[in-house]
Amino acid sequence: MLETVDFNQKKLPKAAYKQEWDELIEKLVVLQQQAHNAGVGLVVLFEGWNGAGKGSRISDLMYNLDARSTGVYVGLDLDADKAREFAGREWGVTGYYPIMQDFWKALGERNSITFYDRGWYSAVIQSMMYSAPAKLLLPKEEERHYLDSIHDFERQLTADGYIVVKFFVHMTKEAQVKRLRSLHDDPATRWRVTDKKLHSHHGYEAAYELYDRLLERSDYPFAPWVLLNGEDKRRSNLTIARTLVEALEQGLRQKEANDALRGAFSAHQAELEAQFNLEDLEGVGDGAAPGRGMLSGARLTRAKAQAETAHDLAPRESRFAIVEDYPQVDFIDHSLAADPETYKQTLRALQARLFRLENIMFQRRVPLILMYEGWDAAGKGGNIKRVAQALDARAYNIFPSPAPTKPELAHPFLWRYWTRLPKAGHVGMYDRSWYGRVLVERVEGFATPEEWSRAYDEINEFEHDLVDWGAILLKFWVDVSPEEQLRRFQDRETDPTKQWKITEDDWRNREKYPQYKAAIDDMFRLTSTTFAPWIVLESDDKKYARLKALRIIVDALEQRLGVEGL
């Protein structure tokens, strides 16, 4: 692919260049404001050789754009020595955080432009060329893993309303040597060229082969590469500006079409809700009220019909392998219970083992991610509390998932979880999670069918990245029967110390039991992957669920760390 760059073109005259450049910049400035107002995000990636002028190309654009709606992320060089010394590598952990996390964290809101001066491809190249070979995947497998992550990242952005434009600034080895020496010889710019970078041309041929292969394999229809001649500043600038103008024009047209579809969906949702409320007022012949938080008669029939409609809109299958024995709501055993006489003794013993394992886990830099979803009042918080009780308070974080904030809504739904990951060797516990997109957002209409239906595999992609990073990922569904949930709701209403735990939304959610049950079953069916299967914690007896969770966590740590019977 790199061989297509023509280094023999004549230089453009300055006057001709300036005229076209000024015209393009004028269009780009207007389009930036239109994109900002429309909520269209633009991601511009600059990859290329050291000394190729990536920073200068970004600076030429930034001088003309509105800085309030732009951001620049500069990729860091991999410290090969630290990478080799990282304790987690021996235990299958690739670093303190997943390789893609920095790029997710740097992502601007959907109404802004984010420039990446060296990004995920540079990180991949450096990792493949300089990371310690021991205990790593074979090169081709490692390359496949990185390309899968890159593909998923770029496709998720474009599906979520971002435009992704990728530039590779190419130059010959001779031109690179000359450029780097010039920067190194100038006292004002010497700091930009370390001795290692000055001599990086010695690895030019090996890097060329890797770059060329990665470019060919990542030239996606939704995020194609644009190759630039880094030895011709004027032609490069014009190509960049022209590409961004065309991309923004196309993106704005697509946003207008998407908004029309979303408007139609919202109107349909409002019509259904109004009809549902009207039936509620009129009673639709239900006879005696079935009780608070419960449905019967025509309203129950309608709720089941809505559940079936949503189920029909869910994907038939995942592109990931799903375990054969994934859970189903109707087949969860509600009779399981712990022995009340031995509960405290067993709890303390499991917590003691977990405490010792957590210390080993920290030293070996293995991250542990515990994710809890479940019915209201199922006992998620109490379960998390018993796990946290066994851990060093400095070694874990509990991440709740309240309604997303305005900045979170302006990013892809997974952004707030990519930015809230535990450091390797630490524990991250999630009280509700990224599954909100396919549960509450699906049922309540906060996400369109197109958004939540594609989210199943987006979630699988996210979890696959976490597991490939080296994390132990355990996904708990805390289950409780409708009858036991009702009893707990009523107890909360009558107990002044627990009344804060019960709201009208909790009662309203019970009325949508058929819709939530269908959403949960689809979630189990589409996201119980072989690398991150769902684990049901039967919680009609909270004590049983707590002990089961602790046993599973302890067993997973012992297996991963190669220790038993602590």
CA pair distance 298, 556, nearest whole angstrom: 47
Mean confidence (pLDDT) of the chain: 91
Q: Which residues of 490-507 are buried (b: 16+ CB within 10 A; e: fewer)?
A: eebeeeeeeeebbeeebb
Give the model's pLDDT for residue 193: 83
pLDDT grade for 81, boundaries at 50, 70 and 90: confident
Q: Closest Cα to residue 473, out of 437, 433, 442, 415?
A: 433
- Least confident residue range of 125-134, 284-293, 400-409: 284-293
CA pair distance 432, 373, nearest whole angstrom: 5
**Bridge partners (DSSP) listed for residue 296:** none
Whether residue 28 has pLDDT greater than 70: yes
Whether residue 287 has pLDDT greater than 50: no
Whether residue 353 has pLDDT greater than 80: yes
Sign of CA pseudo-dihedral 508, 511, 515, 518? positive
Q: What is the reported pTM?
A: 0.92
Whether residue 564 has pLDDT greater than 80: no
pLDDT grade for 295, boundaries at 50, 70 and 90: low
Give the model's pLDDT for residue 293: 64
Q: Closest Cα to residue 159, out of 258, 82, 235, 238?
A: 258
Q: How far is residue 19 from each of residues 11, 13, 55, 56, 244, measured CA to CA in Å?
A: 15, 10, 23, 20, 17
Residue 209 or residue 357, greater confidence: 357
Residue 287 or residue 367, greater confidence: 367
Whether residue 286 has pLDDT greater than 70: no
Give the model's pLDDT for residue 22: 96
Give the model's pLDDT for residue 258: 84
Written in H, E and C, the secondary structure of 401-448 is CCCCCHHHHCCCCCHHHHCCCCCCCCEEEEECCHHHHHCHHHHHCCCC
CA pair distance 473, 368, nearest whole angstrom: 6
CA angle 129, 59, 219 (to 5 degrees): 45
Sign of CA pseudo-dihedral 404, 408, 412, 418? negative
- Least confident residue range of 260-269, 439-448, 544-553: 260-269
Give the model's pLDDT for residue 117: 96
Whether residue 243 has pLDDT greater than 80: yes
CA pair distance 467, 450, nearest whole angstrom: 27
Helical segments of 160-291, H only:
173-185, 195-198, 204-217, 233-282
CA pair distance 34, 111, nearest whole angstrom: 9
Amino acid identity for residue 94 in this structure: T
> Which residue do the tokens 């190509």 mark?
239
Angle of helix 204-217 relative to helix 139-159, nearest 10 degrees, comes to 50
Give the model's pLDDT for residue 275: 65
Whether residue 282 has pLDDT greater than 80: no
Give the model's pLDDT for residue 136: 41
Residue 345: other Cβ atoms inside 10 A: 10
Give the model's pLDDT for residue 279: 58
**Per-residue pLDDT tens digits for 188-214:** 888 888 877 777 777 888 889 889 999
Whether residue 516 has pLDDT greater than 60: yes
CA pair distance 387, 549, nearest whole angstrom: 8
Share of the chain above pLDDT 90, in %: 74
Which residues fall within 8 angstroms of residue 10, CB to CB, at 6 or more apart?
none
Q: What is the mean pLDDT of residues 284-311?
A: 72
Q: CATH assignment of 14-257, given 3.90.650.10, 3.40.50.300, 3.90.1010.10, 3.40.950.10? A: 3.40.50.300
Whether residue 283 has pLDDT greater than 60: no
Give the model's pLDDT for residue 130: 63
Whether the CB-CB separation of 480 and 539 falls below 8 Å is answered with yes
Which fold would CATH assign to domain 297-561? Rossmann fold (3.40.50)
- Long-range contacts at 82-90 (CB < 8 A, ≥ 24 apart): 83/127, 83/130, 83/131, 83/132, 84/131, 84/132, 86/365, 87/363, 87/364, 87/365, 88/364, 88/365, 88/366, 88/424, 88/425, 88/470, 89/132, 89/134, 89/135, 89/136, 90/134, 90/135, 90/364
Residue 136: other Cβ atoms inside 10 A: 15
The answer to whether the 14-257 and 297-561 domains have the same CATH topology is: yes
Give the model's pLDDT for residue 207: 85
Q: How far is residue 382 from each of residues 322, 475, 482, measured CA to CA in Å?
A: 30, 16, 19
pLDDT grade for 342, boundaries at 50, 70 and 90: very high
At 322 the three-state DSSP class reads strand
Give the model's pLDDT for residue 195: 79
Give the model's pLDDT for residue 502: 86
Domain residue ranges of the chain, discontinuous segments joined by +:
14-257, 297-561
Whether residue 284 has pLDDT greater than 80: no
Whether residue 73 has pLDDT greater than 90: yes
Give the model's pLDDT for residue 292: 64
Give the model's pLDDT for residue 109: 97
**Per-residue pLDDT tens digits for 126-164:** 877 665 444 344 456 777 888 999 999 999 999 999 999
> Which residue do the tokens 């239900």 mark?
286
CA pair distance 235, 238, nearest whole angstrom: 5
